[in-house]
Chains A and B, each alone.
Chain A
């Protein structure tokens, strides 16, 4: 097992090393620049490191933990951990609903099959 290069679905060898280096950087999370469009009436929270806008403060804090761990401050780390815990709780509620949806799907199909076969 070795370090995985970025496959590009191509076996063409004529791509310049520059292009390949750009691919490499694009995969490097911290330097990633994603194009964004902010609605004119919104007041986004902006990442202090890369300037990416977010609709909520919580998402902005989560972004710090995902992309900027090597450069963040102690205060930001603590904020991230509490935002992460809040999201974990929301996720728990979400997953309860997902289990509900799975159960409903499962039984509605089972009953439909029973009904069709009888």
Chain B
């Protein structure tokens, strides 16, 4: 086959070019201790500092350059071979009795968390409920979901409870189709808004009440609508499923396998509303960081001083407005991809296929945002586990080394580099020809550069308590 020969020779030229460029890039990173210094701006008084605008634009530059470098990989076979790795894991990992034991254990943990929140010590730094939910679960467990695999459908205590309740009340309904992805999106925005405006992260009693309300809703929903509730409506299950796609361990039917991180983001069917939910995930992680910057504090104070709007409404309006803005930017990007790639593929299809490339970005941003928090409070969590209702031992806070802030910027960059590669693979799968596949990525790469700059800027801001809320 003549064409195969053509493909092979061009790919070996491509590989040689990549080697040279990777070498160049290495030199760049080595000659670039500035990235390292910059993160420590607020952590140490290093005399050699670099202005923030230069650090964030270097981040954008690295993402742009990585797109240019991946444009040399144009052979379909090579691109596919990266994502086609699959090592099967031993079958007992997916064993039913192991998973039902895990499900029961997490129901016990849920009961202890609620009890500890209601009757345990009300001191924020030694209460088991607070530390377990925010440090152990929302920071630590979420990290395990995108770094290892999505274990939530097995561990989800509400799923176990709902299946028990469903045995008594045999109702089999399905969630109305016209609702689409919106209950999940609304739930996600609502939960994060609640976390920001209320002391749910510091008051054990409030946290336990929120968990009780969520439990009632979720068990009722899960009992009535079955698995569909957790697949389409429950925002917690949806966010873990989304993050789980980034992970190296994937489960298909009854098999668990090890694959290249991110390769589950490139193939398979994407349901209609999924891009909207993924954009919501990206936006809420950003929102969480944005409201604790000095710029937000000044802006919020100005808004509340000039207009008679209650602060919680300001927070809600910005939550919804920012989400709509993110969605519009992404939709516009998908429409422009049709133009730059010169293709007739429906922009809705482009929107669906490229949405998952945003997930490594959201995951890396979560990692940068929460890893320090998780490690710092891990000793306190360990103490609280031994005495869930409060006790004599006072917890310690782990002090992180000063270079930790620099590491955060590196995490964000890694997520964006993975995203660039996922978008590249997706484009070569969806579009025709090599040039069209490369050109179709222009709008998405521009969006990613803009987002790198924004998120690195947010991470470098000194932590500021969000105003008007506790």
Contacts and interface: CB of A to CB of B under 8 A. Distances in A.
* A and B interact physically: yes
A114 B430 CA distance: 42
A55 B340 CA distance: 12
Categorize the interface residue count of chain B.
35 or more
B298 to A, nearest CB: 27
Contacts of A91: 74, 434-435
A71 interface: no
Interface in A99-118: 101-102, 105-106, 109-110, 112-113, 116-117
Say whether chain A's binding surface is mostly helix, strand, loop, or mixed. helix
Interface string A57-69: 0111011011000
A11 B151 contact: yes
B346 A10 contact: no
A90 B433 CA distance: 11
Interface string A22-60: 110011000000111110001010000000111110111
B387 interface: no
B84 A9 contact: no
A37 B435 CA distance: 20
Interface residues of A, number: 61
Given A88-B10, A90-B435, A9 B264 contact: yes
Contacts of B28: 106, 109
B331 interface: no
A53 B71 CA distance: 25
Interface stretch (B62-70, B116-124, B302-310): B62-70
Contact of B344 (A37, A85, A90, A105): A37
B255 A62 contact: no
A36 B350 CA distance: 10
Interface string A4-22: 1111111111110000101
Nearest to A88: B10
A5 B31 contact: no
A26 B270 CA distance: 11
A2 B3 contact: no
B297 interface: no
A1 B244 CA distance: 22
Contacts of B58: 109
B255 A5 contact: yes
Enumerate the 6 nearest inter-chain pairs by beta-carbon distance, A residue then B residue, closest first.
A9-B245, A7-B250, A4-B86, A7-B264, A5-B252, A35-B346
